[in-house]
Amino acid sequence: MQIFDQYTDIPQAARGTAIAMGNFDGVHRGHQLVIKSAAQAAQKLGVPLGVAVFKPHPKQFFQPGSAPEQVQSDAARARTLEALGVDYLFVLPFDRTMSLMDDETFVRDVLVKGLGISHVSVGADFHYGRDRVGDTASLQRYGKAYGFGVDIVGLDGEAEEKFSSSAIRAALKAGEPEKAAKILGRPWTMEGLVERGEQRGRTIGVPTANLSLNDYVRPRFGVYAGRARIDGRGAALPGVINVGVRPTVDGAEERLEIYLFDFAGDLYGRMLEVSLEHFIRDEKKFSGLEALKAQIAKDIETARTFLERDQEVNREVDRAG
């Protein structure tokens, strides 16, 4: 997959694509429906498949001090899109110039003159242009006027709930990673380089790998059962995870710590992809390290139970399939 960070000077080979357009933060099941629609158009027209996203997110542009809310890193999103068969990723710079474009100017200058699209698929709630004046109806009108196809894709989920990145964020903030996973079609995962911490975990027999939360949405602070892949290779290893500030040791920095079961080795500077799969308990302040150590032992057992149960369920599904 080739990535462009502009919409001008696009080489001829990347023009004429059928694109899916949106922010696609998380590439959840609803996003996948939009991309599938664009893929079907690409196949019918005999053109490459593209995806167009905005950077920064318009909300970040208009509210630069807003809280971090990313469901997925840009790199992880690109890998997910590539795995879905996307040929070109257009990262459209959402700057002052773009923010002032009305809907027709955006279509004319970005989609037609810039990318030279042959088709665009968007979600049913898609808006664009200054003050969000453009909607799916106007996009269809401009498609007819400028000669490109338009598909509008419903993002309805299950039990009358819409697949959305906002719903994923809400589930994570509520400590419901299973609900987030249902929308995503996979467990929610964050990635980062392992940083050197105070190494207190080693003193109580549970050495942890520490990751900054950076621009990710903040899940409910507490303890989770989950897994981690190291450097993007091999199977994900089970572990127990703490997300928060570590009040027992008067911590202040928000971060994620994971203790990998039955793992021995140095993880400093290595990339971890950590998935939160089950919420165990809220973060709390203990009377001291001994009380914390005792609780961590219980958390480890609870996490093992959760993850072993998941493994058994997966084996049953495989046998049934």
pLDDT tens figures, 177-197? 999 999 999 999 999 999 886
**Given the DSSP bridges, would you call strands 188-193 and 88-93 parallel, antiparallel or unpaired?**
unpaired
Q: pTM of whole model > 0.85?
A: yes
Q: How confident is the model at residue 313 (pLDDT cuts 50, 70, 90)?
A: confident
Which pLDDT value is given to residue 286? 84
Which pLDDT value is given to residue 59? 82
Which pLDDT value is given to residue 157? 61
Residue linked to tokens 């409910």: 220
What's the angle, vertex CA 81, arms to CA 55 and CA 5, rounded to 5? Answer: 30
pLDDT at 260 over 90: yes
pLDDT at 321 over 60: yes
- pLDDT tens for each residue of 137-160: 999 999 999 999 999 998 776 555
Which pLDDT value is given to residue 62? 83
Q: How many CB atoms lie within 10 A of CB 171?
A: 22
Peptide bond between residue 238 and the one before it cis (omega within 30 degrees of 0): no
Which pLDDT value is given to residue 265? 83
| Spatial distance between the Cα atoms of 172 and 279, rounded to a whole number of angstroms | 10
Which pLDDT value is given to residue 236? 93
Mean of the pLDDT values across residues 82-90? 98
Domains of the chain with CATH codes: 2-153 (3.40.50.620), 183-320 (2.40.30.30)
**Do residues 53 and 91 make contact, with C-beta atoms less than 8 angstroms apart?**
yes
Q: How confident is the model at residue 289 (pLDDT cuts 50, 70, 90)?
A: confident
Q: How confident is the model at residue 61 (pLDDT cuts 50, 70, 90)?
A: confident
| Spatial distance between the Cα atoms of 223 and 293, rounded to a whole number of angstroms | 14
- Alpha-helix residue ranges (DSSP H) falling in the chain: 29-45, 58-62, 74-83, 96-99, 103-106, 136-146, 165-173, 177-184, 200-203, 289-320
Mean of the pLDDT values across residues 26-34? 95
| Spatial distance between the Cα atoms of 188 and 273, rounded to a whole number of angstroms | 10
Which pLDDT value is given to residue 316? 73
| Spatial distance between the Cα atoms of 5 and 1, rounded to a whole number of angstroms | 13
Name which of 49-53, 55-59, 124-128, 140-144 the model is least confident about: 55-59
Please give the sequence-ordered ranges of beta strands (E in DSSP) within 104-158, or none if there are none. Answer: 119-123, 149-153
Share above pLDDT 70 across residues of the chain, in percent, rounded to a whole number: 93
- pLDDT tens for each residue of 159-169: 556 789 999 99
* Mean pLDDT estimate for the chain: 91
Mean of the pLDDT values across residues 6-26? 95
Q: How many CB atoms lie within 10 A of CB 80?
A: 20
pLDDT at 26 over 60: yes
| Spatial distance between the Cα atoms of 179 and 174, rounded to a whole number of angstroms | 10
- pLDDT tens for each residue of 203-248: 567 889 999 999 999 999 999 999 999 998 889 999 999 999 877 6
Which class for 237: exposed (0-12), middle (13-18), buried (19 or more C-beta within 10 A)? middle
> What is the full DSSP assignment across 179-212?
HHHHHHTS-EEEEEEPBP---HHHHTT---EEEE
Report which of residues 65 and 304 the model is more confident about: 304
